[in-house]
Amino acid sequence: MQIAILGRGVVGGGIVKLVEEAETPLLRKIKIKKILVHRDEQILDDQHTTDFVEIVNDPEISVVCECIGGVEPAHSYVKRALEAGKHVVTANKKMLAVYAGELFDLARQKGLVLAYEASVGGGIPWIDNIKHIQRLEPVTSFQGIFNGTSNYILSQMAEKDLDFAACLKEAQELGYAEKDPSDDIDGGDVCYKVCLSALTAFGKIADPSQVDQWGIRHLTKEDFAWAKANGRTIKLLGRGRQTGEKLSLQVLPVMLKKTSLLARVGLNFNALETDSASLGPETFVGQGAGSLPTAHAAVQDLLDLAEGKKGIVQSAEPGQLTDEEEQTFYLRTNRADFFQDVVAERISEKAFLTKKLTLAEISSLVKESGDPAAFLAGVADE
């Protein structure tokens, strides 16, 4: 099976390494014919090219593995690869979540595989395991720690009593966080992964911009102090649940009891949990990012293709987002006066626990209040 890899960065480079050092017979079936690089000086030999047309027009290349990241040109390359009759493996959660409707339709029409194990949970076989369970029964809900960067920051804040800025800076120095960390700390990255998990688990396409999304940018030591004093820690969770035709998706920091399993997932690890009728909760914990774990997941997709094991994508419909679950929230805001009607318990001048509300209700109240630096977190029963 001859493939092309688009991009030789963190993930693309990892795939090249794993395939070139192949030690299993199955892995040796994969031949990298072309690697698309950005600049002429990255062309090391004939295998490298800066011209995507060379790849898309090559009839010997049956699979394109997209590791460019970002929305464009990744999206148009993937589209053109599918139009040219090539299977696609991608690690690009943002591009895929944004263009899921278009790209999965195209793949289905063409009878092609569009595989995305590497786009969620790094090395954790998350997509594969959801599909595994579905052979037998529906996955009714999922939740988890989907972002390693924010988990690293939260784990450091919990352990060392440091403030957010110091932990973010350390994560950046260690290479866990980008210079512009917005997608990691504002919940965007989790949101894309939640949408792709919902697509897999529920067969529904959700528009990421319609998902209520809260991050950890405005988290302070004060918030953590309350969590600790109450036997809790804070984790940024993504959650999805299907009830009948309705889909509930959330991206939200949650104050978890310290005795819960997710509370114990430290460093930059991810932990992803399914729930289904006969299995109950199953949790997968592993490296959710990084060159080799993510490359491993992409190569697993390639191996499925090499073995003819990958089914084409089932039809997916736009999901109807809803939010009926009422929960208690922790809110710290400079506009505490605005929230008098929903306060259940005051914690400080600025912070309080709310009455039971839906995430949509509290989100719209915070928006109305006009405080751009409010910190919102769920308070979990467990």
Q: Which sequence positions are flagged as catalytic?
A: 193
**Residue-wise burial string across 347-364, b where 16 or more C-beta atoms lie within 10 A, e elsewhere:** beebbbbbeebbbbbbbe
Query: What end-to-end distance do the CA atoms of the chain give, in Å?
Result: 48
Q: Is 32 or 360 the residue whose CB approaches a second copy more closely? A: 32
Minimum distance between the CB of residue 224 and a second copy, rounded to whole angstroms? 17
Minimum distance between the CB of residue 289 and a second copy, rounded to whole angstroms? 12
Q: Is 108 or 257 the residue whose CB approaches a second copy more closely? A: 257
Minimum distance between the CB of residue 279 and a second copy, rounded to whole angstroms? 4
Kindly list the residues in this chain that would bind a second copy in the complex (CB under 8 A).
Answer: 14, 18, 23-24, 26-27, 123-125, 128-129, 132, 134-138, 259-261, 263-266, 277-287, 292-293, 295-296, 299-300, 303, 309
Q: Is 73 or 266 the residue whose CB approaches a second copy more closely? A: 266
Minimum distance between the CB of residue 271 and a second copy, rounded to whole angstroms? 8
Q: Is 261 or 344 the residue whose CB approaches a second copy more closely? A: 261
Please state the three-class secondary structure of 156-179 as a single string. HHHHHCCCHHHHHHHHHHCCCCCC
Q: Is 118 or 195 the residue whose CB approaches a second copy more closely? A: 118
Minimum distance between the CB of residue 293 and a second copy, rounded to whole angstroms? 5
Minimum distance between the CB of residue 244 and a second copy, rounded to whole angstroms? 15
Q: Torsion angle of alpha carbons 6, 9, 11, 16, nearest 10°?
A: 70
Number of neighbours of residue 83 by Cβ within 10 angstroms: 13
Nearest partner of 147 among 67, 216, 90, judged by Cα: 216
Q: CA-to-CA distance for 148 and 153, rounded, in angstroms? A: 9
Nearest partner of 155 among 142, 141, 144, 168, judged by Cα: 168
Q: Is 187 or 293 the residue whose CB approaches a second copy more closely? A: 293
The string of DSSP letters for 235-275 reads EEEEEEEEETTEEEEEEEEEEEETTSTGGG--TTEEEEEEE
Cβ atoms 351, 366 nearer than 8 A: no
Q: CA-to-CA distance for 287 and 266, rounded, in angstroms? A: 11
Q: What share of the chain is helix, strand, coil (3-state, %, to 5)?
A: 40, 25, 35
